[in-house]
Amino acid sequence: MADVQKRVAAELDRLAPVIDELGARFEQAGEELALVGGPVRDAMLGRLQNDLDFTTSAHPDVTERILKGWADAVWDLGKEFGTIGARKGDWQIEITTWRSESYDPSSRKPSVAYGTSLHGDLRRRDFTVNAMALTIPGRQLEDPYGGIIDLAQRVLRTPGTPEESFSDDPLRMMRAARFAAQLGFAVDPSVVTAMTEMAERIEIISAERVRDELIKLVLAPQPRLGLRLLVDTGLASYVLPELPALALERDEHHRHKDVYEHTLTVLEQAIDLEEERGHAPDFVSRFAALMHDVGKPRTRRFQDDGAVTFHHHDVVGAKITRKRMQALRFSNEQIDAVSSLVELHLRFHGYGSGEWTDAAVRRYVRDAGDQLERLHILTRADCTTRNQRKAARLRRTYDDLEARIARLSEEEELASIRPDLDGNQIMEILGIGPGRAVGEAYTWLLDLRLDEGPKTPEQAEAALRDWWAARG
């Protein structure tokens, strides 16, 4: 406990320029203010952040008035829910009026009513570790539901009953999975039971809110913990049904891997590769790892000899991925990136022991486009064999492919491959105007560039004239 007190004191000293001034302004206005939720929890865990959440007795109009003239910027996008946002230097601030909220069974949006006390506001929060507050400017800790004890025991419980909490806001079931992944905490058995019994209620939550929680979960340090909880409670069947579908029954000869466990391992290996290669946590890369084999259940076939095949599961999986991400309202850019990676994840396995021609390597780079680095990570992560000799051989082979890509890129600028002649040059050489023939010539020259590498303008012109003459 002494260590916790030291961490909190140090964090409060760091926050002092903001919380002391803000607390004084609310106090002068006759209103109560408290730092609440994540910032208090993270201060106890020694996790620093610049996003600060406060709760207050002041109604939004009053909060807005208090902030003006002090904050660098103020916004009211969450005003209908009692929240006013602000920025002060490097600090992002949200101040929400004490409130209670609940969902009507037929509604996707919470109804909001202002509360009358700090303790009442804390009771409506998702978990006890997020239901602690520090009053400002007095710096008095309020922990009516035992959050400190649960923090020390690393467990997630709800302030009231889980059924009451999840009925008020079903998204909290996904937040349980997200916090398990972010904090590495266990989930209280009563919470797991309620999630299992109430999983269907997640359907009243908007796709956008589900998507945002899923992103946070996948970007967490230990997403396997959260994803397992979603699958085990049945929540995944509503928000990401492709994941539990991967838990295929093995054939009696055990000829194929447990695809669900393999997928979670690939995700973890992709995370390790992110760190090794110096990348920040990347949702696209991680979600591609999670979805790369979702085409397997639909393409599984048993052969007469007991062997199992999944022909074209890459193409089928890309279509399934696109459809799921569209349902979850992801951006077109994210959908295209993840779907492309899923479709390309098997391409390397045609490389053999390095038999690809330079033309094939160029096509690999062209097809990957700006997803090439992510494809490197996904392809390497997809090697989960327990055969260490085979694993080492696959790593060496991919090392060779990356080295060849680097060499060709240096020689030919692969990332920006274009034909050796542009459209205007094609029309001038062939004496034709704009039309389909120009596009066909451009495509032919691009294929020639990929197959044979760069040519001089004279060589490209001669080849183009020969091709045109052969067309008649």
- Per-residue pLDDT reduced to its tens digit, 384-416: 887 888 888 889 999 999 999 988 887 666 555
How does residue 107 score in pLDDT terms, banded at 50, 70 and 90? Answer: low
pLDDT in tens, 13-26: 888 889 999 999 99
The residue assigned the tokens 């790593």 is 395
- Residue 84, pLDDT > 50, answer yes
Cα torsion through 33, 36, 39, 45, rounded to 10: 130
Does residue 434 sit in helix, strand or coil?
coil
User: Looking up tokens 């996008």, which residue turns up?
Assistant: 77
Residue 284 φ/ψ, nearest 5 degrees: -60, -50
Q: Is the per-residue pLDDT at 102 higher than 60?
A: no
Supply φ then ψ for residue 363, to 5 degrees.
-65, -35
Looking at residue 254, its pLDDT comes to 47
Do 345 and 375 touch, CB atoms closer than 8 A? yes
Cα angle value 180/184/186 (rounded, 5°): 65
pLDDT tens digits, residue range 233-291? Answer: 999 999 999 999 998 755 444 445 589 999 999 999 999 999 999 999 999 999 999 99
pLDDT in tens, 306-346: 788 888 999 999 999 999 999 999 999 999 999 999 999 99
Task: Report the alpha-carbon distance of residue 144 to residue 122 in Å, rounded.
Answer: 8
Residue 203, both tokens: 């359907």
CA distance 433 to 421: 15
* Residue-level pLDDT at 413: 63
For the chain, give the mean pLDDT.
Answer: 90
Q: In this predicted structure, which of 23-27, 34-38, 98-102, 152-156 has the lowest mean pLDDT?
A: 98-102
* DSSP tag of 108: S
**Residue 190: is its pLDDT beyond 70?**
yes
Give the model confidence (pLDDT) of 124-165 as tens digits.
899 999 999 999 998 999 999 999 999 999 999 999 999 999
Residue indicated by tokens 């696109």? 322
Distances (CA, A) of 44 to 6, 41, 222, 472: 9, 5, 20, 79
Largest CA distance in the chain: 89
Closest CA to 177 of 163, 191, 190: 191
Instruction: Provide the CA 354 distance to its chain's centre, in angstroms.
Output: 33
At 293, is the pLDDT very low, low, confident or very high (cuts 50, 70, 90)? very high
Domains of the chain: 1-150 (3.30.460.10), 154-240 (1.10.110.30), 246-416 (1.10.3210), 423-471 (no CATH)
Cα distances (Å, whole numbers) of residue 459 to 416, 420, 453:
20, 9, 12
Of 81, 114, 118, 86, the residue nearest 22 (C-alpha):
86
Pairing of strands 133-136, 110-114: unpaired
Q: Name which residue leads in pLDDT, 376 or 421.
A: 376
Cis? peptide before 144, omega within 30° of 0: no
* Three-state DSSP state, 400: helix
